[in-house]
Amino acid sequence: MTKLIEYEQASDEVRSVYDDIRAIRKTDYINNFWKAIANHPPTLHRTWQAVKEVMTAPGELDPLMRELIYIAVSVTTGCEYCIASHTAAARAKGLGISGVLHGTT
């Protein structure tokens, strides 16, 4: 199993990315996806920059709709972890239970 890099054990480079994730997502929680890829700090940094650009770039799609798209892609690829993670993020952005059951916001 991949070692998960917790904040307390992280290098300064990894902590910097974790701090940015926390600030952008407005949470203290760093999920296991980020902790796993933190084993290779350049990959952590590159991946976070790409995700951050998609999730925060100005445009027509609001944050909830972006999460719903992530959920759809996760369902298509069969990534159960991704489905759970993005569903939790969508709920935090206002998705109600009826939206989960009926596929609407």
Residue with structure tokens 């902590």? 15
**pLDDT tens digits, 12-23:** 999 999 999 999
Closest alpha carbon to 90 in 79, 77, 74? 74
Closest alpha carbon to 37 in 56, 18, 55? 18
In order of their start, the domains of the chain are: 7-56 (1.20.1290.10), 63-102 (no CATH)
How many helices (H) and strands (E) in the chain? 6, 0
Please tell me the distance from the alpha carbon of residue 44 to that of residue 59, in angstroms, as a whole number: 25
Please tell me the distance from the alpha carbon of residue 7 to that of residue 81, in angstroms, as a whole number: 21
**pLDDT tens digits, 42-92:** 999 999 999 999 888 888 999 899 999 999 999 999 999 999 988 988 998
| pTM of the model as a whole | 0.78
